[in-house]
Amino acid sequence: MSIFQGLSAFPITPADASGRIDTTVLARLLMRIAEAGADSIGLLGSTGAYAFLTREERRRAVETAMDTVGGKIPVIVGVGAIRTNDAVALARDAKAAGADGLLLAPISYTPLFDDEVFEHFAAVANAGQMPLCIYNNPSTTKFTFRPALISRLSKIANIEAVKMPLPSGGDFGSELASLRSITGPAFRIGYSGDWGGAPSLLAGGDTWYSVVAGLLPSQALALTRAAQAGDTMAVERMDAAFGPLWALFKEFGSFRVMYVIAKVLNLCDVDPPRPVLPLSDEVRQRVAAALDRLNDGFSN
């Protein structure tokens, strides 16, 4: 069974102002996800602030994860870096620590050509020697994976999945059919953008790469399982309960909102890495109200 299917939960990486990770708190967040029964953990994804952390701290995060939940739930580690040799080193660190898979985004200051991205991914996949997921995140990286490049990459050993942004117009079915026709049946196609997670699964997507599941894994898993079962009525009810959170994600960015959720739930009291600023007390009140709405929706 592929590690790139079902619900993949992406937690924040709690760290102080200097970027030093609080491994005790991180371990607690990871155990919460594992105990909820999610299908995998996306460690050091965008929500996990990987781009703000040094190689040493990223290594500490992976080692903490494997010490805490290794063997209990697959751990997929983000290894994006501007230089190919740095991404290769991060992939080797993840492998040495015992990670189960890799997630790679093409980070660059200079806009990249398709062939450059292809060579970058080939080098990291070869170094990691474990299943790798393409991270197609154009809103952050400013690079869009066109179908032809995804098809080329799917032929490289170890590259087994893609994490897609939500399609314009919400036509998951057409995009899934098109990508599967050029990648083959074993290649897994999933989506990020939490408000589109359930619709993507209902349409036949393999994976929901979920931000909110990093702190609210039980509720996200219930929504995932309902969508996988094709229970549209349950999906509509639960998705509506999540609605106020989705609205806040869209307004302020899920990265910022997740730090507020962590504080409201008393999971940890950390701020996002600068230059990202904490959200205001007024937004915190809105997040608390959204969480109350979520609890009400799941208790009925």
Compute the mean pLDDT over every residue in the chain, rounded to the nearest whole number. Answer: 97
Is-catalytic flag, 209?
no
Say whether 232 counts as a known binding-site residue.
no
| Residue 299 clears pLDDT 90, i.e. is over it | no
Is-catalytic flag, 163?
yes
Handedness of CA 200, 247, 264, 278 (dihedral sign): positive
pLDDT digits (tens, 9 = 90+) for 179-224: 999 998 999 999 999 999 999 999 999 999 999 999 999 999 999 9
Where helices occur in 194-231 by DSSP H, the ranges are: 197-202, 217-228
261 assigned to some structural domain? no
102 assigned to some structural domain? yes
Structure tokens at 119: 């060579």
pLDDT at 1: 85
140 assigned to some structural domain? yes
What DSSP assignment string belongs to 55-111?
Answer: HHHHHHHHHHHHHHHTTTS-EEEE---SSHHHHHHHHHHHHHHT-SEEEE----SSP
Q: Which of 50, 109, 155, 163 is catalytic?
A: 163
Task: State what percent of residues in the chain have pLDDT above 90.
Answer: 97
Q: Give me the mean pLDDT over the 273-291 stretch.
A: 98
pLDDT at 64: 98
What span, in angstroms and rounded, lies between the C-alpha atoms of 183 and 204?
A: 15
287 assigned to some structural domain? no
Q: How far is CA 183 from the centre of its chain?
A: 22
pLDDT digits (tens, 9 = 90+) for 108-152: 999 999 999 999 999 999 999 999 999 999 999 999 999 999 999
Which range marks the domain in which residue 109 is found?
6-230
pLDDT at 48: 98
Q: Which of 72, 95, 109, 135 is catalytic?
A: 135
What span, in angstroms and rounded, lies between the C-alpha atoms of 177 and 37?
A: 29
> Taking the model in full, what pTM does it have?
0.97
- In the chain, the number of structural domains is 1
241 assigned to some structural domain? no
The count of other CB atoms within 10 Å of the CB of residue 71 is: 10
CATH of the domain at 164: 3.20.20.70
